[in-house]
């Protein structure tokens, strides 16, 4: 398979973002958004510590400059400078010397994958710790170890950003991705990269809907956005949460809480029509931020698109989720599905037949002549008949495509022709 230019560019963006130490707050998030802002314009929001957001409170801001464990000979056996995963997220500052037996209580490993470093956090409980490979721990002799975490946990801000692609109507489609994980390429930088390039493509297309892209820390970021936008939530008609967008597994769509939202039907149709291997999963109140958008008080039509779902691959939340784990081809494929789905979403309308008593004479209006020379003339004729038949104000073009078995693009083109002939109206 030839790697597309967007695939290469998205992978290059993942490689740029990967080393940064992100968390739910702090300068790592800002540095990430600075880079994203080189690709698309962003409106960055800073929400102060202590701000009440629904049932939550914006936490203190965490920043870290250095951290290490030095062995009895003074060698740094664990070094934050080598990987941001080496420190337990939100670790409080520490500067101490202690025996290995005491230090072990603060060490996290993956014995089943002895060369991998796990990703661990302690956002809402004051704690400190290090994450390291089991083989590194096994090689550490008894003795006194110097332990240092140069971090700050203080009042500051939670940072998130928005990018809006204006549409022909004010009704919005939300595309959300999280920017709170440190050096994890698939979860979450691949989703960020796909969102960036999707936004750029949509801007060139001048879409029907308005598309709002959210780059926010997981859970607390989505909750903060919802709290700050409660008065305009009714504009959000559809949405997709992007994550795990670059691994080599097949695509997975998780339905919204409603289960039959328009975005659910569109995604299922596009994935099936494309012939791609894929899975459609039912909603569960666990996973990414679809559970915030779908919470009962909001009940938005927001699903989740991933390749292999969270925790569904052994590299998940480990150092093995690195830029080599994600592929340009997979990210290009995820982007293509989003492109195809939003094209359907933007063209999906309900129509009313303006000549509903008997079949109108299409030939007299030049509609059959307009099809001359098309390789799919018979399909196009059938599409016109199906659109006329189901244009009762109740059925959408997606309904027509599903019921007729005709390609959506053919059905939409038929609707355009019939509309131009004043036989139907939206």
Are the C-beta atoms of 173 and 211 separated by less than 8 Å? yes
172 — pLDDT class (breaks 50, 70, 90): very high
pLDDT value at residue 3: 41
Are the C-beta atoms of 161 and 43 separated by less than 8 Å? yes
pLDDT value at residue 370: 57
195 — pLDDT class (breaks 50, 70, 90): very high
Calculate the average pLDDT of the chain: 95
Do the annotations mark residue 11 as ligand-binding?
Answer: no
pLDDT digits (tens, 9 = 90+) for 79-99: 999 999 999 999 999 999 999
Do the annotations mark residue 187 as ligand-binding?
Answer: yes
Residue 241 C-beta-side C-alpha neighbours within 13 Å: 31
Average pLDDT over residues 49-76: 98
Q: At what angle do helices 27-36 and 5-17 cross, to 10 degrees?
A: 160
Residue carrying the six token digits 């894929």: 278
142 by Cβ neighbours in 10 Å (0-12 / 13-18 / 19+) ranks as: exposed
77 — pLDDT class (breaks 50, 70, 90): very high
CA distance 310 to 326: 14
Domains of the chain are: 5-59+157-347 (3.40.630.10), 61-154 (3.50.30.90), 350-425 (1.10.10.10)
Percent of the chain with pLDDT over 70: 97
User: Is 325's pLDDT higher than 70?
Assistant: yes
Average pLDDT over residues 155-175: 98
What predicted TM-score, i.e. pTM, was given to this entire model?
0.95
Percent of the chain with pLDDT over 90: 92
pLDDT value at residue 375: 59
Q: Could you please report the per-residue DSSP string of 143-186?
A: SEEEEEEEEEEES-EEEEEEEEE--SSS-EEEEEEE---SS-II
User: Is 34's pLDDT higher than 60?
Assistant: yes
């Amino acid at each position: 398979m030839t790697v597309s230019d967007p695939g290469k560019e998205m992978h290059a963006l993942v490689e740029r973002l990967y080393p940064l130490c992100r968390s739910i707050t702090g300068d790592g998030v800002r540095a990430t958004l600075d880079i994203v802002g080189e690709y698309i314009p962003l409106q960055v929001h800073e929400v102060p510590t202590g701000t009440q957001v629904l049932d939550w409170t914006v936490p203190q801001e965490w920043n870290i400059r250095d951290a290490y464990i030095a062995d009895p000979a003074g060698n740094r056996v664990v070094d934050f400078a080598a990987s941001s995963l080496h420190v337990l997220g939100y670790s409080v500052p520490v500067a101490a010397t202690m025996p290995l037996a005491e230090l072990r209580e603060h060490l996290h490993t993956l014995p089943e994958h002895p060369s991998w470093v796990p990703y661990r956090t302690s956002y809402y409980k004051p704690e400190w710790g290090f994450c390291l490979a089991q083989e590194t721990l096994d090689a550490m002799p008894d003795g006194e170890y110097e332990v240092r975490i140069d971090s700050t946990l203080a009042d500051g801000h939670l940072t998130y950003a928005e990018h809006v692609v204006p549409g022909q109507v004010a009704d919005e489609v939300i595309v959300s991705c999280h920017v709170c994980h440190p050096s994890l390429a698939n979860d979450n930088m691949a989703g960020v990269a796909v969102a960036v390039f999707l936004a750029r493509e949509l801007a060139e297309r001048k879409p029907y809907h308005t598309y709002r892209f959210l780059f926010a820390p997981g859970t607390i970021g989505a909750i903060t956005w919802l709290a700050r936008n409660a008065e305009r939530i009714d504009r959000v008609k559809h949405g997709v949460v992007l994550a795990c967008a670059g691994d080599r597994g097949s695509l997975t769509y998780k339905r919204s809480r409603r289960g039959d939202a328009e975005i659910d039907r569109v995604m299922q149709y596009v994935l099936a029509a494309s012939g791609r291997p894929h899975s459609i999963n039912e909603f569960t109140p666990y996973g990414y931020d679809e559970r915030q958008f779908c919470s009962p008080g909001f009940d938005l039509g927001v699903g989740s698109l991933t390749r292999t779902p969270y925790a569904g691959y052994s590299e998940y939340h480990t150092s093995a989720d690195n830029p080599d784990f994600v592929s340009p081809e997979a990210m290009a494929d995820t982007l293509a599905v989003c492109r195809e789905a939003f094209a359907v979403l933007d063209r999906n309308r309900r129509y009313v037949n303006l000549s509903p008593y008997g079949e109108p004479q299409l030939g007299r209006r030049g509609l059959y002549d307009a099809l001359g020379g098309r390789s799919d003339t018979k399909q196009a004729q059938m599409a016109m008949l199906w659109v006329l038949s189901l244009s009762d104000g109740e059925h959408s073009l997606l309904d027509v495509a599903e019921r007729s078995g005709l390609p959506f693009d053919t059905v939409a083109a038929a609707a355009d022709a019939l509309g131009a002939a004043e036989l139907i109206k939206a």
